[in-house]
Structure 1
Amino acid sequence: MTQLGSSNPLVINGVGTITQDELGSLQLKLFQQSPLELRRVFAYQGEKSGGKFSFAGACRLEATSYEGGGTWTCGYLRTSENIRLDGDTCTGVFSGEVARLDSSHGTPSGFQKSSFEGIIPFEVDLPFNLGADGKRNSYPERMIKFTFNKKTNIEIQRFDGHTAIRITNKFELISDRFVEVLLQGISIATGRNLKFIWRQKIGEHFHHNVVSDFDFEGSRIVLPPSLNLRSLLHFISFLDGYIKFSLRNEHNYFSFWEKLHASWATGVVVAALPLAVYIEGTVMNGLRALVEQYGIDRNLVVSWQFVRNRSAHGHDFNRERISKTQKAVTAIFSCLRLFYELLFLKMEFSGYVIDYSKIGFPSDFRYASRFKLKTSAVIKLSK
């Protein structure tokens, strides 16, 4: 490990282990083999103390697998130390949580045949077992296959205990951004914040492996999903539209979705203010234009105003009569419907969606032609 942000960095060498605990964290233990100058170790510890944030309080890790697995790196790692003093020097154990480990070799040039595989360590609930021609079991069980932009083949397959995503492209190296937005689209569609615990990208002249920590507790959180997943065709249509939109436009929609997903676990009342704020952050202005020019239900905007005002000014949703509580809960779920609708508008998506503004959350087919955005529209997903 080499200290960051220092012209004369502390260097810690030794043997060690990286293991994954039951919560999904990657835990490093490095046993320092040769004595270190005590004053330099104390100076390193001082960069982490008293609430101070400094790159000099962290290290870059470079490790070689004893099984011949190549060199693995972690660009940023904060440690804790258990040291034993010996005069002006010390030895000991350096521990820390590793967010991800990378191992790569070769040249990642754009034009080379490539493949990607990533593992999600649980079974994702998707409309499996329907082939491209609509026949059941036209390819392996519990698999979804489709092609993006006529050249990128995508397979999603569920196994006992995990889900695998495979991507192949015969013409170019699969970009990290493509993988990222594909996973974002599946997350929004399912209401699960999906992450890879392991992934690899292979090109004709390039190989990259990543092992990541994983939040098993967080993976159990489910935000009410945007789509009715009974239709494979509409699920694929949503992914295709989200990928195209995200590759062409910089936007912060998923960042808001991710924060909303985390806050939802605390309950709808606590999540009400973040939800209202994220709608505001996503659209910035033009909610009235959405109603007047593009057919958005006026009641959705009224519900947003109700939730935004009550949440922002500290009104207690809980201390109400049942009728008022019902109104508050319905308004919050109507905001969720509006939050998803802002994305559907930009994607021009047609398909079965869930209408959270109505009791019972009925499924409804959304026709994109009813909500056509014009180039002169004042609304936009903020950048």
Structure 2
Amino acid sequence: MGYGFIKQYGFAKQQGLTLIELLVSMFITSIIFAGVINTFLTTKQSYLFDAEVSYMQENARFAVDTIARDLRQAGYSGGCNMNGANVANAVDISTSQADFLKTTAVEGFQLADHPDEYKDDVWAMVSSPDSMIIRYSSDVNNITVTSHNAASAEIDVTSTGDLEAGSIFMLAHINCSQIGIAAAYEISTGKVDHSKGSGVDSSSTNCSKHMGGHFNCSVACDSDGNCPGAPNSSAYTYPPGSGVYEFVSKAYYIGTSSADDAVPALFVKKLDSDGDVSIAEELVSGVEDFQILYGVDTQALSADGKVNRYLTSANITQDVADAGSGWIGWDRVLSVRLQLVARSRDPVLQQTTSQTPIAGGVTYNDKYMRQLITTTVQLRNAALAANI
């Protein structure tokens, strides 16, 4: 009987990787990780980009809506056309609020012409943005005259609303023939006193107690508040039914954000309840440039309510248009074209990029993202027919 021999073959246990196997595995792993990291970075960049776009759009929308809301009220004076009425502006315009106390619906400024009340606050790191003051009267308190004693400078009213001593207010005749502007010397129950002088705890001052005729404090008034150089500036009585309105004056400009001195922001300053110019209020950050054009009715002699030219503030040098100015004045502005440049918070572009958002405007060379927003707003109250 033969015997067979069976040879058993076993496989030795693997003790490690060869150098080649290790290099191959590391190469494959690095490819996988490179893909993961690239995907992460791309997603993060896309997220940051979308977040900055949303930031710019939301801020620009808020800025435009806020300014446009005031522009639509600009020039409101109780339903009257201020350009067609006698206006007695008895507020002393030589005070620190002078630029806020004028009677034109809007007034624009640029470069070195910004008013002293906020000139030092204007953003100047890259651009030279415009600024603008908007003025109107507010009837939210619905104050109506029941009687007026011109000699004692006291107005009896249905209520005093939010008026305080020093508040600047507008008094409009029921038939719109006469408008008066003054600082409240004193407020008591159902009564507004517009005497000459400063109100209680107020820096607002009247040069006259008279509320009739067509004058302002650039006309010399005597110690009794009489203004002999102004027509019909003697005591004037407003009949029952006339309206009392809070005088609103707001300045919009671009300044440096209080949160980061490298970020621009839209600010507003306004007349507060005691007639002083308020502390600057930061409305929204990321608004870097603010350029404004004004639509002017240049029809000779009598305005026809149609815009003939769009001009910068530098081209409008008078409050009241006349032949010498080519019938260009702030009283002839019928619309405002706003151009705002919104800027991202962080430099999110991949490389330094040259941008000129506003045609002929400032050119930026950096990695910030920018967006230009343009809108035109009609000054509805400026288009009112002249008073009869």
Which gives a bigger RCO, structure 1 or 2 (Cα 8 Å, sep 6+)? 2
TM-score normalised by the chain length of structure 1:
0.21
TM-score normalised by the chain length of structure 2:
0.21
The structure carrying a bigger helix percent of its residues is 1
